Amino acid sequence: MNILIIGSGGREYTFAWKIAQSFHCDQLYIAPGNAGTELIGENVDLAVDDFEGIGQFVIDNDVELVVVGPEDPLVKGIRDYFEADETLIKIALVGPDKIGAQLEGSKDFSKVFMEKHGVPTAKSRTFTADSIEDGLVYLQECNLPIVLKADGLAAGKGVVIAKTLEEAQRTLKAMLLDKQFGEASNKVLIEEFLDGIELSVFVLTDGENYVILPEAKDYKRIGDNDTGPNTGGMGAVSPVKFATKVFMERVESEVVKPTITGLQNDKIDYKGFIFIGLMNVDGAPFVIEYNVRMGDPETQVVLPRIKNDLVELLVKAADGKLKDYQLEVSPNFATTVVLVSGGYPGSYEKNKSIQGLADVTNALVVHAGTRQEDYEVLTNGGRVLAITGMGDSLEKALEVSYHGVKNIRWDDMYYRKDIGKDILRLQLD
């Protein structure tokens, strides 16, 4: 079958890499893609939210499966667009509709959902510009640190962990009155701080049945030892030592099952990925957030560990046929190290020539912010490449990743040197 992947980052490259291995894949298209996806399939010059263009392309090219990478088109309603068209409604599309996508698009919506369906999460209250005085008073009663969250999508920047009352009150005013994040901060959640270790859990559901994919740990801060500002993600590892069998059983019974049942009870027809950002607080799982897509860079370590044919899995999810699906996961470790442009996550330059790509032999070179010009591959974003290594131990996988990194260079390239090191140090009882 012909398949279209929507998006242009490392996550979408990894989907393309895995989907291209399937017997079911004939033509593979990526819209808009990057310099790397062009070598696996065919890039299509369409924006991720150009639904009309995407719909027409799907019809013209006999595409039978559409995989939506980023949240933006989902929150804007790409599924709803397909379902409203008598030809496109027959296409298998992986991703929820506009209402389901609110689990990521609105933190207030997802908090109400969790509370209603008994999913463990941090205690929280929501305020608007009209109730800001109550919010400022409420902050005085809260323990510190305290977490403030803009309700809507804010490109990963809408969360502030305030250490003092003064900082918390200033942040609340900036978000609600100065509209720091535009419409995204029309509502602000004031949320209890959870002290624990974070874990990314991925579920693929057909609305009724589900498969839990390999878990991962993401490294969000720009600097070694988790210092500096938050980024989209600087590296990831899978499996994760502290995600023990006992903990994952709790995650399934306390988080995954009530989430899927909650979707059904609320009549949300959800066919797609749910990425659950969890905090492990003394062995108990608490949900920090839902995302309605796979993680980036987590996908770069999750998909390489899945042995099944990914196209079969995705089509079953889109067709409501996941019942009794057996996922086969490699016991090997996967690690990825993200190479970024100097200055990221602040301002950075583009169009630097990348050298050494062909010299990486053992690792998977995942393209993210790259573009091809004549015979050169140029940087075209903050996160430029991710280097995924595999091995029968975490140490070996990291060795493969970092060995690959050593081959690559461009002016201003930066990466974290400590991916996975915290887990290597971690002693479990």
3-class secondary-structure state, position 357: helix
**300 is a contact residue toward ligand GLY (CB under 6 A):** no
**280 is a contact residue toward ligand GLY (CB under 6 A):** no
Return the range that interacts with ligand AMP (CB under 6 A); candidates 186-194, 249-257, 265-273, 333-341: 186-194
Q: Which is nearer to ligand GLY, 185 or 300 (CB)?
A: 300
**239 is a contact residue toward ligand GLY (CB under 6 A):** no
**277 is a contact residue toward ligand AMP (CB under 6 A):** yes
Sign of CA dihedral 317, 319, 324, 330: negative
Return the range that interacts with ligand GLY (CB under 6 A); candidates 177-185, 245-253, 262-270, 291-299: 291-299
Q: What torsion do the CA atoms of 97, 201, 362, 411 make, to the nearest 10 degrees?
A: 70
User: Which H/E stretch holds residue 64?
Assistant: strand 63-68
**C-alpha closest to that of 169 among 141, 196, 193:** 141
**C-alpha closest to that of 248 among 218, 275, 274, 213:** 213
**C-alpha closest to that of 229 among 220, 239, 242:** 220
Helix axes 165-176, 132-141, angle to 10 degrees: 160
**147 is a contact residue toward ligand AMP (CB under 6 A):** yes
CA angle at residue 200 from 125 to 284, to 5 degrees? 65
Any idea what DSSP says for residue 387? E
Out of 85, 289, 312, 418, point to the residue binding ligand AMP (CB under 6 A): 289
Q: Could you tell me the CA-to-CA distances from 157 to 149, 161, 181, 358 in Å, in that order?
A: 9, 11, 9, 35
Q: Could you tell me the CA-to-CA distances from 392 to 159, 211, 395, 399 in Å, in that order?
A: 36, 24, 8, 11
Out of 189, 298, 364, 398, point to the residue binding ligand GLY (CB under 6 A): 298
Q: Which is nearer to ligand AMP, 43 or 121 (CB)?
A: 121
x/- string (CB under 6 A) for ligand AMP, residues 5-24?
Answer: --------------------
| Beta-bridge partner residues of 414 | 340
**218 is a contact residue toward ligand GLY (CB under 6 A):** yes
User: Which H/E stretch holds residue 141?
Assistant: helix 132-141
**198 is a contact residue toward ligand AMP (CB under 6 A):** yes
Q: Which 47-66 residues touch ligand AMP, going by CB under 6 A?
A: none
Using a 10 angstrom Cβ sphere, with 0-12 exposed, 13-18 middle and 19 or more buried, the burial of residue 267 is: exposed
E strand spans, 213-298:
217-218, 221-223, 227-230, 235-238, 272-281, 284-291
Question: Minimum Å distance from CB 408 to ligand AMP?
Answer: 28
**215 is a contact residue toward ligand GLY (CB under 6 A):** no
265 Cβ contact list (under 8 Å, min separation 6): 117
Out of 37, 280, 291, 370, point to the residue binding ligand GLY (CB under 6 A): 291
Residue 34, binding choice from ligand GLY, ligand AMP, none, Cβ under 5 to 8 Å by partner class: none
Q: Are 18 and 306 in contact (CB under 8 A)?
A: yes
Size of the site for ligand AMP (CB under 6 A): 12
**233 is a contact residue toward ligand GLY (CB under 6 A):** yes
**9 is a contact residue toward ligand GLY (CB under 6 A):** no
Question: Minimum Å distance from CB 109 to ligand AMP?
Answer: 13
**194 is a contact residue toward ligand AMP (CB under 6 A):** yes
Residue 194, binding choice from ligand GLY, ligand AMP, none, Cβ under 5 to 8 Å by partner class: ligand AMP
Return the range that interacts with ligand AMP (CB under 6 A); candidates 62-70, 191-199, 343-351, 371-379: 191-199
Residue 289, binding choice from ligand GLY, ligand AMP, none, Cβ under 5 to 8 Å by partner class: ligand AMP
Site for ligand AMP, rule CB under 6 A:
122, 147, 159, 161, 191, 193-194, 198, 220, 277, 288-289
Site for ligand GLY, rule CB under 6 A:
218, 233, 291, 295-296, 298
